[in-house]
Each structure stands twice: as structure tokens, then as C-alpha cells.
């Protein structure tokens, strides 16, 4: 099968990559100066690329892949970006799912902030947002879906953990 037109994309979160960097570069007194600005630029760029590849290999990536894959590094998400993802991408499907069952999902003040801070603290990125919510909301779905006594499910904070409260 011809594979010339196939693009492979791999994604991953390398939260400990910065710590794996080798700090053995020589700086300060006694270091050699390169010849001319263009030689300096070429050497510096190839040195930066070599250091980058060394970081990924020391982190656990196979050296065979490093020469074959173009790597694009992204910065970690900050708290405001995590909040926006939570409010616009993670919570709406849950609200829609509860709505289809005749329930209103309410999110108390502070929950969005807590979930975003928790994902930031655990360095789980956007995936951590859904993981934080799913356990509490799955229990509520199990207990409330199909039960006509409940009309509202409230997502709240209780002693630094998420809780759901069902109400008529």
C-alpha cells in the first residue's frame, strides 16, 4: 500500500520535560567564541536543536523517531485558558446531556475556578478538566436519570472536592 500521502500526527503532554534538560552546557569564563556572526547563528541553532533532541530522548522518546518527526512545542495552558475551555467546551455537553433527561445542571460559583486550578496544579491540561468533573457527574447521572422526582442537579464544592446535589 502506498503511504506517501499519509500524515501522521502524534500528541502528548511532556510535563516533566524541562526537568530532564541537560545543564552541562559551558557558559561564562573559558568558553570558546565562534568565528563570525553567521557561524555563531548556525552553530547556536544546531546546538539548540541537538539540546532539544537530547531532552526528548532523555525523557523517553525513541531516538529513531526524533530524526523522522517534526516536533512542534506548545506552551502549557494557563488558568484563564483552562476556565474558557471548561465553560465553552466541557460543561455544555454535560448540561445538554442532563437537559435531555429533563434535568437542569447548575454549577455553583467557585466550581469552575477550582476545577481549573486543580488541572493546573496537577499539570493535566485540558484533559484534567473532564476527569475532575466526570466522577461527580457520572454518579449524579446514575442516580437521577430516569427518576422524575429530580429536576435540578447542582455541582458544588464541599471541603475541596466536587459534590452533586439533586433537588426537586
Which residue, 22, 55, 74, sits at the end of a domain?
Answer: 74
What are the angstrom distances between the C-alpha of 37 and each of 29, 40, 41, 154? 20, 5, 6, 63
- The percent of residues above 90 in pLDDT, for the chain, comes to 24
> 119 and 104 in one domain?
yes
Answer yes or no: do 20 and 58 share one domain. Answer: yes
pLDDT at 44: 58
Percent share of the chain, pLDDT over 70: 79
pLDDT attached to residue 22: 44
How far are the Cα atoms of 53, 104, 111, 118, 133 from residue 114, in angstroms, in the given order? 36, 21, 5, 6, 11
Name the domain count of the chain: 2
At 72 the pLDDT is 74
| Mean pLDDT (whole number) for 146-156 | 89
Helix axes 91-100, 125-144, angle to 10 degrees: 10
The residue range of the domain holding 94 is 79-167
Residue 27's CB is within 10 A of a number of other CB atoms, namely 7
Give the length of the chain.
Answer: 168
pLDDT of 30: 58
Q: How much is the pLDDT for 89?
A: 94
Whether 11 and 37 map to the same domain: the answer is yes
Does this model's pTM top 0.75? My answer is no
Helix (H, G, I), strand (E, B) or coil at 163: strand
Q: Are residues 70 and 112 part of one domain?
A: no
Q: Mean pLDDT across the stretch 140-152?
A: 88
Among residues 48, 74, 100, which one ends one of the domains?
Answer: 74
Residue 15 pLDDT greater than 80, yes or no = no
Amino acid at each position: 500500500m502506498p503511504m506517501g500521502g499519509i500524515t501522521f500526527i502524534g500528541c502528548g503532554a511532556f510535563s516533566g520535560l524541562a526537568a530532564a534538560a541537560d545543564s552541562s552546557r559551558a557558559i561564562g569564563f573559558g568558553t570558546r567564541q565562534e568565528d563570525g556572526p553567521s557561524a555563531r547563528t548556525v552553530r547556536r541553532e544546531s546546538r539548540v536543536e541537538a539540546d532539544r533532541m537530547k531532552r526528548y530522548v532523555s525523557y523517553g522518546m525513541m531516538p529513531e523517531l526524533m530524526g523522522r518527526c517534526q516536533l512542534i512545542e506548545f506552551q502549557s495552558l494557563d488558568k484563564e485558558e483552562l476556565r474558557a475551555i471548561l465553560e465553552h467546551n466541557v460543561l455544555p455537553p454535560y448540561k445538554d446531556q442532563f437537559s435531555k433527561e429533563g434535568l437542569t445542571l447548575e454549577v455553583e460559583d467557585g466550581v469552575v475556578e477550582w476545577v481549573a486550578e486543580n488541572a493546573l496544579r496537577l499539570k493535566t491540561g485540558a484533559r484534567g478538566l473532564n476527569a475532575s468533573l466526570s466522577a461527580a457527574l457520572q454518579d449524579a447521572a446514575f442516580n437521577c436519570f430516569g427518576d422524575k422526582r429530580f429536576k435540578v442537579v447542582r455541582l458544588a464544592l464541599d471541603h475541596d472536592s466536587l459534590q452533586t446535589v439533586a433537588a426537586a
